[in-house]
Structure formats: C-alpha cells, structure tokens
C-alpha cells in the first residue's frame, strides 16, 4: 500500500546537529530516513521519528506540529523508538545495521545509522530473475540468520523482514535493516499507531493474534523472503491464506530445480500454525546448514545453455 507523503522532509543542505542532510532516502509511516554527511564527510543514514498521523510538518517548516490530543500517542511511539534504539545500540553484529548516534532535535528524536553501500535483496532478485542459486540462498540466509539470532537474543523481534529490508553489501554479505515495525498498537487512542506489516511477509499472528508473536513470527517472514527470491514476487498474504490458501508449496513449485530439503525448509517456515514452524532461528539455521543428499545438478546441456544466454545478455 503506497503511503501518501504528508510530512515534508528536512530540506537538502539542512544542518542537523553535526550532520548535513543530503536527501530523503525512504519514508515509512513512522519515520523518514535521510542520507546525510557527518562532520568528516562520512555518509550516514539518519532516521527521524515522525509518525505520519500524529505529527505534521508542513512545507517550509522544521518543527512538526503535534496536536494536544495526539500527544499521548506520539509519546507512546517515542517510547517505541527508544526501545528500537536501545535494542540496536546493544547489538554489535556484522549482519545487523549499526547505530552510530542518537539525539534529540526539532521536537523529535533521530537515530544515526551506518550507511551501507550495495543493494537490497529485492533489487538483487529482480536483477537476477530466475538465476538465484541454492548456494546463494543458503549462504545469504545463514548469515542473515546469525544477525537475526542476535536480535532475538536481545529479546527483540524484527517483525518486518522482507527482501527490501535486507541489504547486500558490495561483498555480498547481508545486513538486516529497519527495525521500525516492532511497535505495539495503542488501542484506545485514536488516531493510533498501528503495527505495520507487509502483506506476503507478515505471519498470520501479526494480523490476528498480537499476543502470540515470537521468534517464529520472524521465521515466517524469512521463509516468505526465501520464497519471494524464487518467485520474484511476494507470496500470498497470510490473512488471505487463512481464508483460502492458494499458495503453492515451494517443494512443488520448484521441484527438481532446488533440493527438496531446501524447499521443504521454506515450506516449514511458512506454516500458518506457528507451532509447526521452526521454533527458533537456531533450528532453522541447522536446517539451512544441511547439505542435501542429492543436489539436483544441471546437465551439461542446460549449463551450456545458461552460459550462452548470459553471454548474449552482456
């Protein structure tokens, strides 16, 4: 669902604390992310807490306007933003985005993160349509899960894992980005902060049973992300699957192209009943580390064919 941008970003060139804003790089319901330079000219990503429905920054203004009746919800969201900051600050892991600074300005707060060069997994998959190898999946996801395990060890859930929140550095190592979704809804305040989720990647319990969230919720999203790498499209949304499950099992859809063991692992993660999924990242990692007994090997003809096609494309 596209979000209409209500809030105006800080203008390019704006001096924010010790950073100079270059441009807006992304926008979510809760925040705006900017590319900026620090005093030494190093590029950083800065996330500004600015919930769309609660704080309004009109064009040409710097300070957002927060109406009296939204103050309570705004503060609640702020607490969540702090929670995200706390958790990320405690994490020091190569596969999780690193927080560099945290400060207050312009009646709100900012989180400064390391800026990574590379591209999102989504962009990678789109570029290499149909050429995602089993090895790529196993290696990238095993590493990514190292990061996720660390996140879970800090008793934190990501809750919005998807191809566009996974970044591949130039050397191919993955980084988990954007911990913005782990927010609880405020039930009685309106307009309220609702937990965001991305259809196709969000687990069924994110729609219906917020009290049943756990590591298995992120595991569903990891499975859906792997599925999306093969399908180069989002899988059917979980709430729709609950009504009428038309999602073709990975183990059927790509039989023969990838090992049964890998495909079954994807299906395992995407079980609608969370009790039937791997209960922890560790369990999933073990499954990904297994070497399938009979890896389907391309015949010499298909290999040649693919190489030729690649040549032609260049």
Partner 1 sequence: MKFTIYQESRIGTRQINQDRVAYCYSRDALLLVIADGMGGHAHGEMAAQIATNHITTLFQREARPHLPDPMFFLSVAIEGAHSEICAESERQGLPENPRTTCVVCVVQNGVAYWAHVGDSRLYLVRDGKILSQTRDHSLVQTLVDSGSLTMEQARRHPSRNRIFSCLGGQQEPQIDFSRKTPLVDGDILILCTDGVWGPLEDDLCPQIAYTNVLNSVPRLLNEAEQRAGKSSDNLSIIAINWEEDEEGELICYSDMPTMPMDVYTMPPQGGQQNANASLSDNEIEEAIEEIRNSIKQNLPIRN
Residues near partner 1, by CB under 8 A = 72-73, 75-76, 78-80, 82-83, 85-86, 89-92, 98-104, 109, 149, 152-153, 155-157, 184, 186-189, 211-215, 275-276, 279-280, 282
Name the one residue in this structure whose structure tokens are 């010790």.
18
Give whole-number Cα distances, 202 to 15, 92, 143, 196, 198, in Å.
37, 26, 21, 9, 6
CB nearer partner 1, residue 150 or residue 178: 150
Does residue 218 contact residue 158 with C-beta atoms inside 8 Å? yes
CA-closest candidate to residue 165, choices 101, 117, 114, 119: 119
Identity of the residue, 113 or 121, whose beta carbon is nearer to partner 1 in the bound complex: 113
Burial class (CB in 10 A: 0-12, 13-18, 19+), 127: exposed
Minimum distance from residue 205 beta carbon to partner 1 (Å): 12
- Rounded to a whole number of angstroms, the minimum distance from the CB of residue 306 to partner 1 is 39
Whose Cβ is closer to partner 1: residue 108's or residue 236's? Answer: 108
- The distance of closest approach from Cβ of residue 99 to partner 1 in the complex, given in angstroms and rounded to an integer, is 6
**Residue (87 or 236) nearer to partner 1, CB:** 87
Q: Which run of H or E residues covers position 66?
A: strand 65-66
SS3 of 145-212: HHHHHHHHHCCCCCCCCCHHHEEEECCCCEEECCCCCCCCCCCCCCCCCCCCCCCCCCCHHHHHCHHH
**Which residue, 27 or 78, has its beta carbon nearer to partner 1?**
78
Nearer to partner 1, 151 or 224 (CB): 151
Work out how close the CB of 166 gets to partner 1 at its nearest, in angstroms, rounded to a whole number. 20
């Amino acid at each position: 669902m596209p979000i209409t941008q209500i809030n105006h970003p800080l203008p390019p060139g704006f001096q924010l604390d010790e950073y100079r804003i270059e441009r807006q790089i992304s926008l979510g319901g809760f925040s705006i992310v900017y590319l900026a330079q620090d005093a030494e000219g190093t590029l950083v990503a800065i996330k500004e807490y600015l919930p769309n429905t609660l704080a309004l920054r009109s064009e040409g203004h710097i300070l957002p306007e927060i109406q009296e009746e939204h103050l309570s919800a705004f503060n609640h969201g702020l607490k969540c933003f702090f929670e995200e900051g706390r958790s990320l600050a405690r994490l020091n892991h190569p596969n999780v985005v690193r927080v560099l600074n945290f400060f207050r300005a312009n009646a709100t707060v900012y989180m400064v993160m390391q800026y990574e060069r590379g591209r999102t997994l989504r962009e990678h998959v789109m570029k290499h349509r149909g050429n995602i190898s089993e090895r790529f999946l196993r290696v990238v996801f095993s590493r990514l899960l190292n990061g996720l395990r660390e996140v879970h060890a800090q008793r934190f859930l990501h809750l919005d894992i998807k191809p566009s929140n996974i970044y591949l550095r130039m050397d191919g190592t993955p980084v988990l980005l954007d911990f913005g979704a782990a927010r609880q809804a405020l039930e009685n305040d309106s307009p309220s902060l609702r937990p965001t989720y991305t259809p196709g990647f969000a687990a069924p319990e994110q729609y219906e049973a917020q009290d049943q969230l756990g590591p298995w919720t992120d595991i569903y999203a990891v499975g859906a992300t792997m599925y999306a790498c093969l399908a180069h499209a989002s899988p059917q949304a979980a709430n729709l699957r609950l009504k009428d499950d038309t999602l073709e099992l990975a183990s059927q859809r790509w039989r023969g192209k990838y090992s049964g063991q890998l495909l079954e692992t994807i299906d395992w993660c995407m079980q609608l009943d969370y009790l039937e999924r791997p209960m922890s990242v560790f369990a999933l990692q073990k499954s990904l580390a297994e070497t399938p007994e009979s890896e389907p090997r391309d015949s010499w003809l298909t290999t040649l064919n693919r190489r030729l096609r690649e040549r032609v494309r260049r």
